[in-house]
Structure 1
Amino acid sequence: MQKKLNIMMLAMFCAPALAQTYTDSIGQHSKLEVEAAYTFAEQQLGQNADMPQGVTMVNSNRNVFASEVSYRFAPTHLRFRAYNPMYNEVYINGVLMNNVETGQFRYPTIGGIGIQGLRFNSSLPFESFGYGMTALGGSNNYNFRAADMKRGHHIEWTGANRNYTMGGAYSYATGLSASGWAFAGTLSYRWAKQGYVDGTPLKSLSYYLSVQKKWGDTHSLAFATWGSPSKRAQYGASTDEAFQLSDDHQYNPYWGYYNDKKRSSRVVRDFAPTALLTWDWNINEKTRLSTSLQGQYAWYRCTRLNFNGENPYADSWIKMPSSIYNVWNTADPANTADAKTRWEKACSDWAADKSNRQLDWERMYWFNSQVAAQGTDAMYWLESRHNDNLNISLATTLDKRLTAKSSLRAGFNFATNKGMHYQTINSLLGGAQLHNVNTYAAMHYPSTSDKVQYDLNNRNAALYKGDRMGYDYNILMNKAQAWASYVEQFGMLNYSISARMGYQSMQRDGKMRNGMAADNSFGKSRTKDFLDGGLKFGSSLDMGCGHTLTFGMGYEQRAPLASTVFAAPEVNNDIAANIKKQQVFGTEVGYMYNGTWLHANLNGYYSYVKDASDWQSFYMDNTNELVYNSITGLKKKYYGLEAGLKFDISKTLDIKLLGTISEAKTTNNSQSRYMFACHGTYNDDVLLSKDMHESGTPLTAASLGVNYHQRGWTVGVDCNYYDRIYLDYSTYNRLQQIADGESLDQAKGKGGFMLNCSIGRTAHVMGGLLDINLSITNLTNNRTICTGGYESNYDVRQPSTDGSNASLYNFAKNPRKFYAFGTSGMLNITYSF
């Protein structure tokens, strides 16, 4: 009972949790945590595409730090060891579900499924894992079999002032009947007219349905399908100047009033229906074979406001008061009395009325109506960027118990993937038409030039709502992998050896003949192939009396992500120069103690990545030019210490201390090949990336938590501290030729303390179990903790576009940031029977 209450307190940040040992559909026992309705903030789950950070989820029944890191530090998006989320692998019924192109798993696809969908077991980087070689950042497997769902009804209601304000869910599972059938299902809905951030409505429906048939103790066939169709508005980063003038650290520049209603320029529609068929076969008492076939078709589109004129965003640099008066150097000769007067008025206008600092939709419609009357193209329009995906995967796993103290696991998986990337007209905003021409290039080439055409096969095509424009291409991928893992207990030593070998192929298939690459954009590119593989060793030595030493080491070669293999995929078929397989080395040493009243762990780790690659697409803030940047040859180091202590003061009271101090940075200057969309030619340069840190995650974090639990009551208070939060650095400004000998420090965000608390009550009511939980995050309303952001990209050689020789606006001192939410609460009520 004590153990169950402790685990319950771990999940109090979001919802109640139980721990149990269950009998799976084949009759073998497995240990896992049943996580009930985690409600991570949408931006942590990758739903806000403008945020540079992702999320990794890890867990451990034995490691105090790892058991809490995924949600204790969730408000600041702390990533496990600062790893990119591609190093954290997520499986469902043994099928790897990470996106084949980006390498990341999108938690929103299962985030609303609740108690049915968030059942998983987890392995840390050097622990054995039953479905492959454990990833550098850990691996998780979710069990979606109907017979393994907790039997009965589960009703849930949530009220909050976070990314959604209301949510409800109903789940039901029959358990395994005498005839061998099991059924399970979940339906949930989350809604917000406006989330915590202004102008961010949300509607999200989630469903899960599973049926399973078992024949004796030998065979089982399970089918599951799920999806989460949603519509939500994103919010954008902004500068400290904008936050101060608006007196709001959650200022969102992406919306404005239209017909007296809030309208966002960044609206996401997302739906990834998935079907999974799993066959389990108990060949004999010592051998089990599990095979799963998965299919998924994902639709994802995000609207963006584009323009052929003045930047409509109120926080664009040229509209900010500091572009009028040099606030960084009051002695600047440009700071005349007239400039100061205009600066004071601009500041006053920003603060006076919310509509003055938001998008002016009415003005955009008026301008479009004027040019429509003249028969010319719209000046402003909404475009939708689509990233659709079709994936079919097959995975099979053989589990063989060799002796009472050893076992062998082996498997094979294959995936074929078609990523569809294109852009459409969402709305002409009152305009009459738009042509499929490159407005960036139109300023540099005659209107009759092929260079300005996005599609030479349909020259000067007139576009209307729903038509494709700009770019249209597919990324075709095949991926195969074989792996094996041997686990043995040898006296006091427990160890595992894992190995994998894989193959990947990647190809671009262009659907438009771009004028910048007339002979190299339409049709299929050459295929890029990679062979990769790795070897990993993990061990734990039981020293007796609760003391355990752990050690792990691994090396692997990883094929580069398809999202980085092509130099400018929106333009041509070119493969990035010098693209190579990543070489990844990792090692870890740890100590663990489990006593009657004290549980402790201390881990030191070191990882090294060589030949990493990246690809970026960004706008130059001061010249309104689009740039594609392919970066290769990156070398990165990750190292640090993690510690966790849990003191059981009594049967009803425990104290937890958690902390990590880490380093995660690039250790060399890499290679950059970039292209301006207005020219279509490459520029090669050295990127001064040395000593640039991983962004969007605290590299130092600590937590002190106190938990009380007795007679169905649970109360928890924790104080968290965050520091060393770096922003995503500008790769353009650090090009050797652009920097011209100047050394630029990487911009940082401010850390600080955050106090959270929770209270819950569990009681048996009318034959069922009632859970009521209230959690409050950031009780002291600390709004100055930065959670990420990015530096501006600007051309120092062309500081302005208004004809002047210089700009008073200081881009280097105005990076764009995100800040942690202030005080927010969530009330969660569940009833199970």
Structure 2
Amino acid sequence: MRTLFLGLFLMFGLVLSAQTITGTVVDSKMNAPLPGANVIVKGTTTGTTTDFDGNFTINVKESQGTLVFSYVGFEKKQVKFNVTGSSLDLGSVSLNEDAESLDEIVIVGKGIIDVATGRQTPVAVSTVTSKDITKVAGNAEFPQLLRSVPSVYSNSQGGGYGDSEIRVRGFDQSNTAFLLNGQPINGMEDGNMYWSNWQGVKDIASAVQVQRGLGASKLAISSVGGTINIVTQTYNSMQRSYVQQEVANNNYTKSTAYHSTGANENGWSSTYMLSYWQGDGNFYDGTEGEGTTYFFSVGYKPSDEHAFNFLLTGAPQMHDQAYQGNIGYALDYGRRYNENWGTLNGEYYNERTNFYHKPVTNFNWDWNISDKSDLSTVVYASFGRGGGTGPLGRYNDKFNANRQIDFDAIYAHNRGLAPTNIGGQDYIVGMDDYPNEMGYITRASMNNHFWTGIVSNFNHEVNDELEFNVGFDYRYYHGDHYRQVVNKLGLDGWYEGGNGSIPGGQVVFDSNDISLFGPTFNTVRSDQQIDYSNSEDISYIGGFGQVEYATDKFSAFLQGSVSNQNHTRYDYFAYTLPENQESESIENLGYNLKAGLNYIINDNHNVFVNAGFYSRQPFHDNIYKRYSNDINPLAENEDITGIEVGYGLSLEKFSMNLNAYWTKWANRTDTGTIRADLVGNDGIDEEYITNFTQIEQTHYGAELDFVYKPIDGLTIKGLAAIGNWEYSDNPLQDVYDSNSLEIIPSLSGTESYVDGEKIGNAPQTTFSLGANYRITRNLSVDADWYYYADLFADLDPLEFTDPNGDNTIIELPSYDLVRIGASYELELEGKKSLEFRGSIDNLFNEVYLTSLSSNKAVEAGDRTFKGISETNRGYFGFDRQWSLSVKFNF
């Protein structure tokens, strides 16, 4: 009895010693409650979340301390407390918008989205918040959001809207993993990203996190350079509406309407967004474009145990392009010169147009099974329709005196061809059977696909320090590729003699206009396809798991995944017999293993280290030779090894991250295309296919980024990244004619002597400094300075086959850019307000080259641009760009 009494006494004492703190967390701007906000006692693991009305109750062991409040999209807030009795009511705690990190992100599908937590997850990480996204307005593209992230380079590779690319630590987009709410979105054929297909992500992204290096993602994905998580709005707890109008240089306009219902008492929430844009081009002449973005999301939280969200988004677009031009032509006709356009019947016409529509849908389910276990699942699907136009056939004198295409002359030439009698009637028919080429048309290379998959992750907390998760990832992809006639330019038909399914050939009479939504609902019959027709099936299944141990001071993880890919190719042109049209199915097993340690020395300092190894399967396009069903025997798994160490400093007004990395990418095969004048020496560059094997690269470097807030309202950010990225072996190469697929013997079976040469297309030294100053509550100004150096040309295989040659990759001139902006908010009645934004990029109109695709040395008589021979092909950076926007919130 005495023992029982003592136990009851102790329990009663513990109850009396615990103090209760209550309050309500609200949005400072709208004074609306924030359900699901996190409330944690600083320095402990004691915490809770607010209910539907923003209310919270938390028991604290100490009478004095600090509560930390956080909510996605809002700044963290610390509130000191002193409980003099048994309870304390803090009243209303208001949070300001625009958090600086995703440390406490709460969204549906959170178990799938591997968001790294600053100073806790042992990876190099940077986060672009909603505040940063609003700065990149007007005609600026999504990749420009990431310019202030160390070792990230945004570059325009097609000259038109949506043609930008992102390189991380010198690796291209096929070796950087892109995720949309946990869904992999890199192309399954080649790993590439085409931002024209994802124009809308800038409108729908609530935050973007860049994990450089192997990153924290558990999926078996192409995260050699890094992983970029695009987090969109899902379950939205607050009602919000706005309309926005943007204008920018070159007659760019964009109109947007947005509405979110907020969560009702039954747990339902929905969000709608629609925008339309058009413009005459960012910089290059003849790069007009237009497009729209739609976004729909509906969420449902029937209880604390379950949360669901359905999302549908897409961004149909079409834009004209300017491929890398000859520098000599830029010197003659100006930097805006674009050789792809001219006039037809007195009207503007570009033979290089990209058009695509890729709707994406996913369904997320979060199941809080117990206090210890939860399951998160996303099921997704997408289908893409569209392609890119270009010339087919030959007409040697197609340029006029201003070196723009004379389509009227082409039209007249086509009409002057000898007629062909078909079925008793004369038709003017063109063909592309080399060397009997005659006629010239515009064709479209189509890329239609269907993609579906599921990712599911189960997480279990063994105790306060140890947890593990396991999951699986399944994907299926089917793609169809062919060419179709777009504009016959005066011909009646086009003869196709290479279709193995139609012995004897045929004349194609149909032509197909391009438009925003046209390709979505129309496909071309097989008997109207030209030049080539092939398909592929790619299936992927993988499993992954992670064990994580974490205390207040120390965290460690061990992570691994294994995956199996199956590839089958179908070719309906190259093979007549049906049994030959389907290739042998190829299976490849891959895996990765990663581990990391993080130690929090104290409230101010932490250090981390991580390492990993990937055995990554080759891409589909590298498995089959020469775009045929022949298997490439040298396409083996690629070996990727990475090591990274880092240090973090966090003070009241200053925070800093310092990282060092080393990555080796070996045993790589790569199939690509080049444009060069290899046949006939007629001055006209044609497209050729290159196949490289045994490529090896080594990348290492150091990165520094910091944030300094010396006074209220002023934030200063900066970065420095210095790398050394080189080829570390000599690959072998083959070169093929892209139309006939015939090998070019003089350029094949040779070695490219690039060992020790620099990796191109991304600067190996970058610096950035930026500031944001809030002058008043409603007015702020901001500016950024970017410096790029040690930028080298891309590898041109034709220039590196002589063992006694110079074999030096050209270094491009360094350059720097300045961007300025200002924002002003006019508060109106109630929740209404007007937001004004203006910005200028490349303020001082710097003239610079962003990339170079050839390595031709300066020879006698050559003109130069900053020491670069006019015979090289490259892209000039955009000149001064400006944008203005106004948003009405209601």
Q: TM-score surpassing 0.5?
A: yes
SS of equivalent to 2:413 = helix
> Which residue is 2:663 aligned to?
607
> Which residue is 1:798 aligned to?
none
Deviation at 1:648, TM superposition (A): 2.4
Deviation at 1:280, TM superposition (A): 2.0
Q: Where does the alignment leave 5 or more consecutive residues of structure 1 unmatched?
A: 10-15, 46-54, 60-64, 315-348, 350-355, 438-452, 795-806
> Which residue is 1:720 aligned to?
786
Deviation at 1:754, TM superposition (A): 1.4
> Which residue is 1:92 aligned to?
180
- Change in Cα spacing, 1:823 to 1:720, as seen in structure 2 (3 Å) is same
Counterpart CA distance in 1 for 2:419 and 2:655 is 74
> Which residue is 1:318 aligned to?
none
Matched, 1:385 2:469: no
Give the counterpart of 2:300 among 193, 213, 232: 213
> Which residue is 2:813 aligned to?
750
Give the counterpart of 1:371 among 417, 425, 445: 417
- Change in Cα spacing, 1:238 to 1:619, as seen in structure 2 (3 Å) is closer
Counterpart CA distance in 1 for 2:803 and 2:107 is 63
> Which residue is 2:357 aligned to?
271
Q: Which letter does structure 2 place at the counterpart of 1:407?
A: E
Contact 1:39/1:111 (<8 A) preserved: no
Contact 1:640/1:662 (<8 A) preserved: yes
Contact 1:372/1:433 (<8 A) preserved: no
Deviation at 1:535, TM superposition (A): 0.8
Give the counterpart of 2:311 among 224, 241, 251: 224
Deviation at 1:373, TM superposition (A): 5.0
Contact 2:355/2:386 (<8 A) preserved: yes
SS of equivalent to 1:575 = coil
Q: Which letter does structure 1 place at the counterpart of 2:452?
A: I
> Which residue is 2:742 aligned to?
680
Give the counterpart of 1:160 among 248, 251, 266: 248
How is 1:141-160 mapped onto 2 (pairs within 5 angstroms)?
Answer: 141-144=229-232, 146-148=234-236, 151-160=239-248
> Which residue is 1:253 aligned to?
339
> Which residue is 1:182 aligned to?
269
Deviation at 1:191, TM superposition (A): 0.8
- Change in Cα spacing, 1:274 to 1:829, as seen in structure 2 (3 Å) is same
Deviation at 1:187, TM superposition (A): 0.5
- Change in Cα spacing, 1:39 to 1:72, as seen in structure 2 (3 Å) is same
> Which residue is 1:779 aligned to?
843
Comparing 420-429 and 114-123, the one that deviates more: 114-123
- Change in Cα spacing, 1:827 to 1:297, as seen in structure 2 (3 Å) is same
> Which residue is 1:449 aligned to?
none
Q: Which letter does structure 1 place at the counterpart of 2:588?
A: F
> Which residue is 1:567 aligned to?
625
Counterpart CA distance in 2 for 1:827 and 1:458 is 58
Counterpart CA distance in 2 for 1:151 and 1:70 is 36
Comparing 582-591 and 94-103, the one that deviates more: 94-103
Counterpart CA distance in 1 for 2:172 and 2:805 is 29
How is 1:579-590 mapped onto 2 (pairs within 5 angstroms)?
Answer: 579-590=635-646
> Which residue is 2:699 aligned to?
638
- Change in Cα spacing, 1:731 to 1:254, as seen in structure 2 (3 Å) is same
Q: Which letter does structure 2 place at the counterpart of 1:310?
A: N
How is 1:124-143 mapped onto 2 (pairs within 5 angstroms)?
Answer: 124-125=212-213, 128-129=216-217, 135-143=223-231
> Which residue is 1:458 aligned to?
503
Name which one, 1 or 2, has greater alpha-carbon Rg. 2
Contact 1:38/1:111 (<8 A) preserved: no
Counterpart CA distance in 2 for 1:580 and 1:26 is 35
Q: Which letter does structure 2 place at the counterpart of 1:154?
A: Y
> Which residue is 2:889 aligned to?
832
Counterpart CA distance in 1 for 2:530 and 2:156 is 41
Counterpart CA distance in 2 for 1:277 and 1:830 is 30
Counterpart CA distance in 2 for 1:91 and 1:592 is 26
> Which residue is 2:770 aligned to?
705
Q: Which letter does structure 1 place at the counterpart of 2:840?
A: I
SS of equivalent to 2:368 = strand
How is 1:505-516 mapped onto 2 (pairs within 5 angstroms)?
Answer: 505-513=566-574
Give the counterpart of 1:819 among 866, 869, 876: 876
> Which residue is 1:657 aligned to?
718
- Change in Cα spacing, 1:56 to 1:694, as seen in structure 2 (3 Å) is farther
> Which residue is 2:673 aligned to?
617
The one-character-per-residue Cα deviations of 1:484-529 (angstroms, maximum 9, x if unpaired) are 1222224522222211111111121111135xxx779951111121
Contact 1:219/1:279 (<8 A) preserved: yes
> Which residue is 1:558 aligned to?
616
Give the counterpart of 1:307 among 393, 398, 412: 393
Matched, 1:361 2:448: no
Give the counterpart of 1:482 among 540, 543, 564: 543
Counterpart CA distance in 1 for 2:384 and 2:595 is 36
SS of equivalent to 1:563 = helix
Contact 1:154/1:172 (<8 A) preserved: yes
Q: Which letter does structure 2 place at the counterpart of 1:719?
A: W
> Which residue is 1:236 aligned to?
323
Deviation at 1:313, TM superposition (A): 5.2
Deviation at 1:597, TM superposition (A): 2.7
- Change in Cα spacing, 1:658 to 1:528, as seen in structure 2 (3 Å) is same
- Change in Cα spacing, 1:81 to 1:206, as seen in structure 2 (3 Å) is same
Q: Which letter does structure 2 place at the counterpart of 1:365?
A: Y
Q: Which letter does structure 2 place at the counterpart of 1:664?
A: W
Q: Where does the alignment leave 5 or more consecutive residues of structure 2 unmatched?
A: 1-27, 30-68, 76-96, 118-126, 421-427, 431-437, 512-527, 681-685
Counterpart CA distance in 1 for 2:876 and 2:74 is 29
Q: Which letter does structure 2 place at the counterpart of 1:312?
A: K
Counterpart CA distance in 2 for 1:666 and 1:740 is 16
Q: Which letter does structure 2 place at the counterpart of 1:777?
A: D
> Which residue is 2:597 aligned to?
539
Q: Using structure 2 for the length normalisation, give the TM-score.
A: 0.76
SS of equivalent to 1:366 = helix
- Change in Cα spacing, 1:57 to 1:521, as seen in structure 2 (3 Å) is farther
The one-character-per-residue Cα deviations of 1:57-87 (angstroms, maximum 9, x if unpaired) are 879xxxxx74895789999966221122233
Name the count of aligned residue pairs.
737
- Change in Cα spacing, 1:38 to 1:650, as seen in structure 2 (3 Å) is closer
Contact 2:110/2:376 (<8 A) preserved: no
Counterpart CA distance in 1 for 2:202 and 2:465 is 36
Deviation at 1:830, TM superposition (A): 2.3
- Change in Cα spacing, 1:620 to 1:308, as seen in structure 2 (3 Å) is same
- Change in Cα spacing, 1:577 to 1:511, as seen in structure 2 (3 Å) is same
- Change in Cα spacing, 1:522 to 1:430, as seen in structure 2 (3 Å) is farther
- Change in Cα spacing, 1:104 to 1:627, as seen in structure 2 (3 Å) is closer
> Which residue is 1:593 aligned to?
649
Comparing 286-295 and 107-116, the one that deviates more: 107-116
Contact 1:133/1:483 (<8 A) preserved: no
- Change in Cα spacing, 1:477 to 1:130, as seen in structure 2 (3 Å) is closer
Deviation at 1:131, TM superposition (A): 6.3
Identity of aligned residues (%): 17
Matched, 1:527 2:615: no
- Change in Cα spacing, 1:265 to 1:109, as seen in structure 2 (3 Å) is closer
> Which residue is 2:728 aligned to?
667
Counterpart CA distance in 1 for 2:313 and 2:785 is 37
Deviation at 1:279, TM superposition (A): 2.2
Contact 2:166/2:172 (<8 A) preserved: no
